[in-house]
């Protein structure tokens, strides 16, 4: 039992976590993503990761999903790109002249949100 002024000690069990095995090989598709978070749930239950690590992984996972959504919504097909027909979303760099922000205003930098009119 914790008494006043006593620090809470985080206990992490030894052994490789399931989520680490998946993360180490990379997240390439929805199957990998699902396996990562299934492993994370198991790791939390077995106390192989801290709540802080799990929270950080969930935040990062949310950002990956947002990026996929933006790619589907605003990405463009780039001829000759080795992406097997998927759309590509350019998130930095130089953009072609004529791209607009959806309100007719030219985009020079950041994320181009719409194709040429």
Dump pLDDT digits (tens) for 10-36: 445 557 888 988 989 988 889 999 999
Dump pLDDT digits (tens) for 30-70: 999 999 999 999 999 999 999 999 999 999 999 999 988 88
Distance CA 104, CA 50 (A): 47
Q: What is the DSSP letter of 89?
A: -
Distance CA 69, CA 105 (A): 23
Dump pLDDT digits (tens) for 79-114: 776 766 677 777 765 545 445 555 555 554 444 444
Distance CA 116, CA 95 (A): 11
pTM for this entry = 0.59
Distance CA 96, CA 89 (A): 13
Unique residue bearing structure tokens 């006043």: 4
């Amino acid at each position: 039992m914790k008494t006043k002024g006593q620090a809470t000690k985080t206990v992490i069990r030894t052994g490789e976590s399931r989520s680490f095995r998946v993360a180490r090989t990379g997240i390439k598709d929805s199957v990998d993503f699902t396996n990562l978070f299934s492993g994370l749930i198991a790791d939390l239950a077995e106390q192989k990761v801290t709540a802080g690590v799990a929270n950080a992984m969930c935040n990062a996972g949310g950002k990956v999903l947002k990026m996929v959504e933006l790619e589907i919504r605003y990405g463009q097909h780039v001829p000759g790109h080795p992406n097997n027909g998927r759309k590509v979303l350019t998130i930095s760099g130089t953009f072609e002249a004529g791209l607009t922000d959806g309100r007719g205003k030219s985009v020079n930098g950041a994320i181009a949100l719409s194709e040429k009119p």
